[in-house]
């Protein structure tokens, strides 16, 4: 039956040879190559659940008394956005489940992109000819973070509203154009009454479209260039060894799609997330302690908390201290990410040879230790984003926590890099032993 369908299409498109090439295409089967697919399939879940949610959500900011079934908020004046989110959580059958799956999927989506980025980085998969896909991938990370921020800020709850106020201040802090940019995005002084509608368009249309487009490019490039592989038996720079796309690889990949969906469904069902009815509706003069953004913004939050009060005032102009951790740091971060493949190429004086065989991290001490150090730096920032909760739980003064983290920010990356070097060396030594043992065994066999 499928064959009849395939023939029907081929009669109109003459695509059979492409189909055959595609079906027999070989994909390397190492498990770490599937991490990118975790992100891809989380995105699928996001689009499906998100479309459902968008059918109920109303991004309006006009306030009306709440009349839904959550008793502690009955009569409170809330925006249409907050109200529709409450309705989804209490008055739409299965609404809360879908909302929770959607939010967990967003957290897992960005986490998967980060794990995938780490895998690509530490195995050197970004080297020529894959710099292009690296650039596309880093852009996807940036877009994913922005989409997540826009998404959870839509609900007009206390926590995300405070985040939007910080966002306004960050825009304001940009030299020369800051004031204009902030007023442009928010349609006037904070909070205004257009920001939720604009975030909605960004979150459900512009950003997902960009992600979809870049994802397509990302996959097409992989298709064209063929996936990298680890060195090993039969594997050379001139071939690909693994599963055929049809049926094995397709089965495994679609199986992964279902497993990702299963884990996200379990999380969405069993683990509450973003209880906006407890945060309360956003009021500009109210705030809460223990206020953190979603995890993928945590490093930024930590930078804001650790940055000392450094303001630059000269010639009647001011660069407020907020600019440095909130604009300069992410700018440098992403610039560094984008440029890394080219910097590595230039510094290592690498030949213009293509690489299709991956490095093992242990064989590249500089790249591995650098990656570990940079990762540790952002991990410390992430931890610093929760410094007030750490102070509360450990019963330590906040000033001490901040002081320790500031020191750790510079000491731990170096220490981590040193540990990485030691571990790599150890692993290589055991490789040599294993190789030696293997050689001895082979020699024994031949006798």
Q: Give, as ranges, the residues between 149 and 208 that touch other proteins (CB under 8 A).
A: 158-159, 162, 165-166, 168-170, 172-180, 182-191
Q: Which residue is listed with tokens 């695509």?
A: 15
Query: 3-class SS at 314?
Result: strand
Footprint on residues 100-159 left by other proteins (CB under 8 A) = 100, 104, 107-108, 111-112, 115, 129, 158-159
Q: Establish if 82 lies at the interface with other proteins (CB under 8 A).
A: no
**Count of residues that interact with other proteins, criterion CB under 8 A:** 151
Q: Which part of the chain contacts other proteins (CB under 8 A), choosing from 52-60, 87-95, 334-342, 343-351?
A: 87-95
Closest distance to other proteins from the beta carbon of 11 (Å): 27
Structure tokens at 158: 């206390």
**Residue 8 Cβ, how far from other proteins at the closest point, in Å?**
25
- The stretch among 200-208, 308-316, 372-380, 425-433 that binds other proteins (CB under 8 A) is 308-316
CA distance 330 to 339: 14
Contact 310, 322 (CB under 8 A): no
Q: What is the enclosing helix (H) or strand (E) of 77?
A: strand 77-79
Binding window for other proteins (CB under 8 A); candidates: 20-28, 46-54, 338-346, 433-441: 20-28
Structure tokens at 11: 């009669």
Structure tokens given for 279: 């945060």
Closest contact distance (angstroms) between CB of 446 and other proteins is: 26
Residues 39-68 that bind other proteins (CB under 8 A): none
- Taking the complex as a whole, the smallest distance from the CB of residue 365 to other proteins amounts, in Å, to 22
User: 313 forms bridges with which residues in the sheet?
Assistant: 318
Per CB under 8 A, the segment of 50-58, 74-82, 203-211, 413-421 that binds other proteins is: 74-82
Interface with other proteins (CB under 8 A), residue from 4, 14, 55, 290: 290
Interface with other proteins, residue 31, by CB under 8 A = yes
| Interacting span for other proteins (CB under 8 A) from 205-213, 318-326, 363-371, 427-435 | 318-326
Of 307 and 365, CB closest to other proteins: 307
Per CB under 8 A, the segment of 70-78, 200-208, 331-339, 370-378 that binds other proteins is: 70-78
CA–CA gap between residue 21 and residue 404 (Å, rounded)? 58
* By the rule CB under 8 A, 342 interacts with other proteins: no
Report the phi/psi class of residue 124: left, alpha or beta, with left for phi > 0 and alpha for psi in -120 to 50. Answer: left
User: Of 4, 14, 93, 447, which lies in the binding site for other proteins, with binding defined by CB under 8 A?
Assistant: 93
Kindly tell me which residue out of 11, 69, 348, 430 binds other proteins, with binding defined by CB under 8 A: 69
Neighbouring-strand partners of residue 79: 63
Q: Which tokens in the block code for residue 177?
A: 């154009």
User: Is the backbone peptide bond immediately before 191 cis, with ω within 30 degrees of 0?
Assistant: yes
320 vs 169: CA distance, rounded Å:
10
**Residue 370 engages other proteins in binding (rule: CB under 8 A):** no
Give residue 228's region: left, alpha or beta (phi > 0; psi -120 to 50): beta
Residue 63 near residue 78, CB atoms below 8 Å? yes
Cβ closest to other proteins, residue 10 vs residue 91: 91
Q: Which of 213, 275, 336, 403 binds other proteins (CB under 8 A)?
A: 275
> Binding string to other proteins for residues 221 to 260, with x set by CB under 8 A, is what?
----xx---x-x-x--xxxxxxxx--xx--xx-xxxxxxx
Nearest approach, Cβ of 201 to other proteins (angstroms)? 12
Does 345 bind other proteins (CB under 8 A)? Our answer is no
Contact 49, 105 (CB under 8 A): yes
Q: Given the complex with other proteins, which of 80 and 402 has the nearer CB atom?
A: 402
Distances (CA, A) of 237 to 231, 355, 357: 9, 7, 6
| Of the residues 263, 339, 421, 427, which one makes contact with other proteins according to CB under 8 A | 263
Residue of the chain from 87, 294, 344, 359 that contacts other proteins (CB under 8 A): 294
Report whether 174 contacts 323 (CB < 8 A).
Answer: yes
- In the range 400-439, which residues lie near other proteins by CB under 8 A? 400, 402
Query: Are the beta carbons of 74 and 87 closer than 8 angstroms?
Result: no
User: Given its phi and psi angles, is residue 226 left (phi above 0), alpha (psi -120 to 50 degrees) or beta?
Assistant: left
CB 354 within 8 A of CB 365: no
Angle at 219 between CA 45 and CA 267, to 5 degrees: 20
C-alpha span between 203 and 92 (Å, rounded)? 22
The two tokens of residue 421 are: 């070097």
In this complex, which beta carbon is closest to other proteins, that of residue 124 or of residue 191? 191
Pick between residue 20 and residue 336 the one whose CB is nearest to other proteins.
20
**Total number of residues shown for the chain:** 447
Torsions phi, psi for 400 (to 5 deg): -65, -45
Stretch that binds other proteins, among 136-144, 312-320, 418-426, 436-444 (CB under 8 A): 312-320
Q: Check binding of 386 to other proteins (CB under 8 A).
A: yes
């Amino acid at each position: 039956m499928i064959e009849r369908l395939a023939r029907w299409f081929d009669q109109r498109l003459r695509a059979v040879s492409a189909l055959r090439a595609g079906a027999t295409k070989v994909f390397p089967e190492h498990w770490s190559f599937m991490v990118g697919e975790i992100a891809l399939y989380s995105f699928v879940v996001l689009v499906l659940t998100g479309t459902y949610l968008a059918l109920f959500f109303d991004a309006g900011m006009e306030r009306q008394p709440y009349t839904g079934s959550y008793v502690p908020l009955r009569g409170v004046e809330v925006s249409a956005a907050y109200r529709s989110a409450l309705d989804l959580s209490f008055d739409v059958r299965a609404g809360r489940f879908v909302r929770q799956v959607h939010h967990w999927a967003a957290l897992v989506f960005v986490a998967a992109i980060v794990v995938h980025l780490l895998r690509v980085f530490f195995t050197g998969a970004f080297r020529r000819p894959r710099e292009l896909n690296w650039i596309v991938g880093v852009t996807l990370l940036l877009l994913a973070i922005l989409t997540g921020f826009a998404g959870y800020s839509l609900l007009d709850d206390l926590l995300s509203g405070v985040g939007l106020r910080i966002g306004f201040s960050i825009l304001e802090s940009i030299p020369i154009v800051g004031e204009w940019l902030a007023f442009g995005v928010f349609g006037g002084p904070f909070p205004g009454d257009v920001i939720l509608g604009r975030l909605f368009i960004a979150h459900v249309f512009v950003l997902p479209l960009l992600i979809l487009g870049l994802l397509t490019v990302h996959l097409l490039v992989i298709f064209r260039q063929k996936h990298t592989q680890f060195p090993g038996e039969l594997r050379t720079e001139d071939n690909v060894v693994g599963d055929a796309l049809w049926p094995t690889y397709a089965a495994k990949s679609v199986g992964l799609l279902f497993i990702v969906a299963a884990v996200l469904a379990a999380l969405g069902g069993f683990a509450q997330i973003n209880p906006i009815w407890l945060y309360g509706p956003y009021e500009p003069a109210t705030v809460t302690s223990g206020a953190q953004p979603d995890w993928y913004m945590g490093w930024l939050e930590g930078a804001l908390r650790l940055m000392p009060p450094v303001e630059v005032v000269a010639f009647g102009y001011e660069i407020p201290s907020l600019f440095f951790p909130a604009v300069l740091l992410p700018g440098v971060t992403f610039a560094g990410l984008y440029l890394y493949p080219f910097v590595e190429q230039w510094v290592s004086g690498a030949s213009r040879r293509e690489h299709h065989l991956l490095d093992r991290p242990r064989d590249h001490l500089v790249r591995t230790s650098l990656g570990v150090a940079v990762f540790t730096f952002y991990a410390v920032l992430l931890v610093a984003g929760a410094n007030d909760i750490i102070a509360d739980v450990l019963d330590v003064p906040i000033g001490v926590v901040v002081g320790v983290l500031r020191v750790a920010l510079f000491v731990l990356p170096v220490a981590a890099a040193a540990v990485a070097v030691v571990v790599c060396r150890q692993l290589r030594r055991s490789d040599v032993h294993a190789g030696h043992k293997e050689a001895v065994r082979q020699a024994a066999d031949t006798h």
